[in-house]
Structure 1
Amino acid sequence: MNENVVFDYIVIGGGAAGCVVAGRLSEDPTVSVCLLEAGGPDSHPLIHMPAGVAVMVPTSINNWQYQTVPQAGLKGRTGYQPRGKTLGGSSSINAMAYHRGHPEDFDRWAALGNPGWSYQEVLPFFKRAEHNENFDDPLHGQNGPLNVRFHTSPNPFGEVFVEAGLQAGYPACPDQNGATMEGFGRLQVMQKDGQRCSAARAYLTPNRARPNLHIETHAHATRILFDGKRAVGIEFMQHGFKCVMHARSELILSSGAFGSPQLLLLSGIGPASQLLKHDIAVIHDLPGVGKNLVDHIDYVHSYRIKSRRLMGLSLLGVWDTLKAGIRYWRHRTGPLTSNFAEACAFVKTSPDLRQADIELALTIAMFADHGRTLYRGHGLSLHACLLHPKSAGELTLASADPLAAPLIDPAFLTHPDDIATLIEGYKIIRKVMSTPAFKAFAPKDVLDTPMNTDAEIEQVLRSRSDTLYHPVGTCKMGADAMAVVDARLKVRGLEGLRVADASIMPTIIGCSTTAATVMIGEKAADFIREDRALNAADTSKDDHETTASHHPA
């Protein structure tokens, strides 16, 4: 590709937000849009079959497979950080859970100095993106590109989980994106016709024929190009060759909570001391780049249950899976339409809290270590996820090599409040599993480890907990000294460059982050279109005034 290629907009990263931005901007036939994605096209069959999540997350299939640095809060263990490496990004390999977040999550953003980001202000963008097959009310969208529904072929243990929650004294929550985000309920998923509805399928696939939308895959961005303080182009590697393209209007960085800060740092945008350490010329000293890394820490506990309605490793289980494969191939129904996470609950560890601080999730299989460790037989797992961790870490460069992975340090469980809350989360797992609804199936704990006292529970949690795949905050939005972008997602102190992905979240939301990242993409596209219209109006005004000056009265 020669260096004279120019587009109006270049979107760097084809993840959940990048697909939205590229799809929305290309609705205007007068502008040209190029989307760069480091991974390949979203053509792998495991992407579209929902159960493929169980194969992709623990392997290198469409997956960056990042690692953290050793985590002091996890007894020095190195954590695993799977991220999507294909069109759709992590929305193409994740569990497809559709959760927006509690209203206070977004009101908190607005209170931190980000006008336009309160719950009432972001709700229209959630609704614009959504087509909900099950709910049609003022809180849900219809006719949006992102299809949302309950499971096509729900596993019966989802209802067992909900009943157990009621027996344990918790409320029901039939719509976890409705008026109340507390209690036990079935999971809504991003699926359509029994297949994954990733951001790529929602925003790119229907629009691939647009002549003004250009998509480059296997294009690994290595450096943003600047003319002074204005971003003007992007350098990237593709099939072993260095390529360059330029943008007339803007570059939109949508490479995720790891990729976006890494590319800024490689391009000379970030803390000057870190850049100079790697002999990177400083374009703009911006101390917050890579800081404020926050992620959900999650503990998984498994139980054996003698039921083939649960996924498992057994001879009969293999036969069941083969039959399920035939059913899926013929009808797009059956067990392989499951994302394994069939139901979940948002619960409070104290009634004084304004919103849930623990998410409990049911997985219809026994596993540990992100599915890299499996147990023989059949059973289920319950997750306890810390929704509002106080621990915060950072992302830094390992070297100036743009193809090297960054150093990822979420600082899991380094704040004492986090481990205390997660201990309470485990106790809720134990409480739910002791209800008659589950006792009827005679569950057997797979761990042969004492977990009676808080000290014993803490040791197990620190030995076995890890990410629930929701890193955010490394290019946070705000007005303080550590903010990287402003409330319109423009990189502070620079021109022609925005960031639009989960990295801009100033605080983590209390649920999965995909739906909110799609919302961020929708808002970013609106910001860009508004600014383009404003610039066009200003240009027209200037032209009119210039013309008038040559025709005096």
Structure 2
Amino acid sequence: MLVYDYIIVGAGTAGATLAARLSENPTCNVLVLEGGGSDRNLWLKLPVGYYKSIYNTTFSHLYRSEPDQGINGRKMDCPRGRVIGGSSSINGLIYIRGQHEDFDDWAKLGADGWDYESVLPHFRSLETYAGEPSQFRGSYGPLHVSDLRNKNAACDAWLDAAQASGLPRNADFNGETTHGIGGYQLTLRGRWRDSSATAFLKPAMKRANLTVKLRAHVTGITFEGRRATGVSFRQNGQDHTVNATTEVILCGGAVQTPQLLQLSGIGPVDLLKEHGINLRHAAPEVGENLQDHIQMRTIVELSQRGVSLNDHVRNPFRLAQMGLDWLINGAGPLSVGAGQVGGAIKTKYAKDDRPDVQLFVMPLSVDKPGKPLHKYPGFTTSFWQCHPESRGQIQIGTTDPFADPKIRMNYFGVQHDLDVTLEGLKVVREIYQQPEFRELWSREVIPGNTHRTDEDLKTAIRANATTVYHLVGTCRMGKDETAVVDPNLRVQGVEGLRVVDASVMPRIPSANTNSATYMIAEKAAQMIKDGN
């Protein structure tokens, strides 16, 4: 039987980063088991390629939630990366950490050592930022972060309109504050996407002490008494077992990590009993505390042709120009991610002077990634509530490790979430009406001018709101006995088992979650090296 010091389950954002950092010690043998395959595909390299990859089952596990009353009984798509690099290989490339106070909140909730001042050095150590240096940014890390490289007249007009409505300009959302409006930063290395695979794992795979097995689906954790000793997995139709002398580290994300814990006897007692699973440790919060950002998209039709990317993709000359701009300069529309410009704003519900709505703007419109852009010249402003109070859960529905668990999102389960989203919609409409932008568009497509009253708009939100793919929180860290992991990310109640991924977040960050997931892995690697 093969034996390693550390077995890492999952080569996603956290797993790839952690594996690279732990294998820096040449005396430490690390095994990474990844259920997906290689990232050798153009759509995984081209920045705008996330439109093609996020719903492609070759690279993405397309989970679906249970019917959700908060969104009119709809089932929500919950794609997660199933490829080395995980969701960092298929996401919209947006790099934003969140508000400083997000991490102070973690510490207040029992995650000692995870306040902003404590995590900032780890944010800095993982990145090389191409913009102006500052005390907030890193210059020597493996992950490359770039400012926006595309200019668009409609986006510029939107920024002017947002400023006219009273919002300040912000040159760096990862600096002193997220408040204000400006361009988004992206994980770009040259003209290509930079993921945890390209930034961390692939360079580290040259080391003799790091082994990566692809298409290796972990089916369970093995134990001797209360100590995790290894994992079982299936690869190419064959079942295998490997042992870890030091730790098994779960990096499967907010869906697969709680699923694997429950299948291995760590979870809610009644759930495990229902499925005939022997109880290893009673952990009632495994799979609970599920959080996500749910966005409302607004779309207007521009009155001028040639500004929206909807027009560009149907013009062979513009397509050629876009290709040359990307090839020669690493810039232009092919270099963008899920949002060009946007920012963080405060509605009347904002608490402690913190933004409570995040805005994302793109000079295009589409039903969802992977679908053709609309034939009319569309322009989109999406937004979500920064600090949702609703909580969902993830539970196994069977003992089959290859079956999807049941995902209950419970969107708008707390009225406050819907109230803030409504106010965000009103703010977006106010920006559209500013003189700096109003002359550019002819009609509001979504939600549409027929939706005027608050009740009308709430109906539109429930009918149109979609996930931003930010599922977190299902293995909450804290120092209380019901927390799944302690502040050192060790699973409570057992030994030799740790969780390092987005599932440990006690509360969802206010903005995109990928950057914070990188930081969790970076900080975890240092804790492990320090013997904590």
TM range (shorter): over 0.9
Deviations 1:324-375 (A, max 9, x none): 3455456544321111410111001026542111011102210234554742
Conservation of the 8 A alpha-carbon contact between 2:232 and 2:239: yes
Paired residue for 2:337? 339
Shift of 1:320: 2.8
Paired residue for 1:243? 240
CA distance in 2 between counterparts of 1:133 and 1:187 reads: 13
Q: Does structure 1 residue 150 correspond to structure 2 residue 147?
A: yes
CA distance in 1 between counterparts of 2:92 and 2:497 reads: 31
CA distance in 1 between counterparts of 2:232 and 2:523 reads: 26
Paired residue for 2:453? 453
Within 5 Å, which residues of 2 pair with 1:64-83?
64-83=61-80
DSSP 3-state at the match of 1:377: coil
Q: Normalising by structure 2, what TM-score?
A: 0.96
Of all paired residues, the percent bearing the same amino acid is 36
Shift of 1:6: 1.0
Paired residue for 1:434? 433
CA distance in 1 between counterparts of 2:338 and 2:470 reads: 18
Conservation of the 8 A alpha-carbon contact between 2:145 and 2:189: yes
Shift of 1:436: 1.9
DSSP 3-state at the match of 1:222: strand
Shift of 1:293: 0.3
CA distance in 1 between counterparts of 2:372 and 2:72 reads: 19
Deviations 1:253-293 (A, max 9, x none): 00000011011111111012111211212111111100000
Shift of 1:528: 1.1
Shift of 1:519: 0.4
CA distance in 1 between counterparts of 2:312 and 2:130 reads: 35
CA distance in 1 between counterparts of 2:311 and 2:409 reads: 33
CA 1:52–1:81 in 2, change beyond 3 Å: closer, same or farther?
A: same
Conservation of the 8 A alpha-carbon contact between 1:340 and 1:364: no
Deviations 1:301-343 (A, max 9, x none): 1112234342216774355335534554565443211114101
Q: Normalising by structure 1, what TM-score?
A: 0.92
Deviations 1:54-104 (A, max 9, x none): 112233241111111000100111111111111111111111111111111
Q: Does structure 1 residue 477 correspond to structure 2 residue 474?
A: no
Paired residue for 1:16? 13
CA 1:378–1:285 in 2, change beyond 3 Å: closer, same or farther?
A: same
DSSP 3-state at the match of 1:150: coil
CA distance in 2 between counterparts of 1:476 and 1:394 reads: 12
Paired residue for 2:293? 296
Deviations 1:106-154 (A, max 9, x none): 1111111221111000000000111111021111111101111112334
CA distance in 2 between counterparts of 1:373 and 1:46 reads: 16
CA distance in 2 between counterparts of 1:94 and 1:160 reads: 27
The letter of the residue matching 1:387 is C
Paired residue for 1:29? 26
CA 1:318–1:405 in 2, change beyond 3 Å: closer, same or farther?
A: farther
> Which of 106, 110, 117 is 2:114 aligned to?
117
Conservation of the 8 A alpha-carbon contact between 1:311 and 1:317: no
DSSP 3-state at the match of 1:78: coil
The letter of the residue matching 1:115 is D
The letter of the residue matching 1:344 is G
Q: Which runs of 5+ in 1 are unaligned?
A: 533-553
Within 5 Å, which residues of 2 pair with 1:313-324?
316-317=314-315, 319-324=317-322
Q: Name the Cα RMSD after superposition.
A: 1.7
Conservation of the 8 A alpha-carbon contact between 2:313 and 2:319: no
The letter of the residue matching 1:196 is R
CA 1:390–1:72 in 2, change beyond 3 Å: closer, same or farther?
A: same
The letter of the residue matching 2:429 is R
Shift of 1:250: 0.6
Q: Does structure 1 residue 95 correspond to structure 2 residue 92?
A: yes
Within 5 Å, which residues of 2 pair with 1:143-222?
143-222=140-219
Paired residue for 1:549? none
The letter of the residue matching 2:130 is E
Q: Count residues with an aligned counterpart.
A: 529
Q: Does structure 1 residue 495 correspond to structure 2 residue 495?
A: yes
Paired residue for 1:417? 416
Q: Which runs of 5+ in 2 are unaligned?
A: none
DSSP 3-state at the match of 2:218: strand
CA distance in 2 between counterparts of 1:155 and 1:213 reads: 44
